[in-house]
Structure 1
């Protein structure tokens, strides 16, 4: 069964493991230097914020999400847990608090884009570069509230 809790500093090694493994499984378009630079930024950033963790009964983190002002900045699931409803559960929790939830997804990450659209997100725009100015186009998405 999946439970949710906020991250602590003790979770950082597992969070970074999930991030690295998820990126390796889904972001093959990233240049190695960019992947390393992003990882270095996150090692500094993650301890400063609270992430929502999806954890197993034994409290092992299976995935995480970072929300900021109604925008989902990050959603990463352990690749061994893909397809088990963890990402969907985290999104449902976020939408319950933020019905107009927004997020961005790398244009080259076709599986993630399909996942978000299947969860009820619609495209609202596109940027040619990511938030740090790297040449990785982003698709901007917003959750479609039920009418």
Structure 2
């Protein structure tokens, strides 16, 4: 399971992973929000982060985007949930990209638990998400004990 850099040529594959993952994990997000976010991510957000992915047998199975020490996105194809792809990407981001912060949707308790298992601790909360929608964010910071 290798972590590789991705480029614009991978954006279509990444947005498909993003949408499948969001639909599997973000049941609080209305369809209109997904429809609004998709072109923004594809046309703006992917360019604003350093993107890395786990690729096996020529297939991207999950990816992470980092900017300014913050994990801005982490998405895994639903059929690969629970096999260590997210963990591998987090460790890569901690060790190679200087990422130690993340904002997690409060209504996604599985993601909060995942980051807690990865030794992130809650350091704050915002009532609105980055687009100003009423989807509270939990601000988390890496606690620093398991980068190996």
Shorter-chain TM band: over 0.9
Q: CA deviation at 1:32?
A: 1.1
CA–CA distance in structure 1, aligned partners of residues 12 and 72 of structure 2: 20
Q: CA deviation at 1:40?
A: 1.6
**1:112 is matched with which residue?**
111
Aligned pairs for 1:84-95 (under 5 A) are 84-95=83-94
**Between Structure 1 and Structure 2, how many residues are aligned?**
145
- Unmatched runs of 5 consecutive residues or more in structure 2: none
- Unmatched runs of 5 consecutive residues or more in structure 1: none
Aligned alpha-carbon RMSD (Å): 1.7
Q: CA deviation at 1:120?
A: 0.5
**2:43 is matched with which residue?**
44
CA–CA distance in structure 1, aligned partners of residues 98 and 46 of structure 2: 27
SS state at 2:141 partner = strand
Under a length normalisation based on structure 1, what TM-score does the superposition of the two structures give? 0.92
Moved over 3 A (4+): 97-100
Post-superposition Cα deviations, 1:78-98, rounded to whole Å, max 9, x if no partner, equal 110000000000111111136
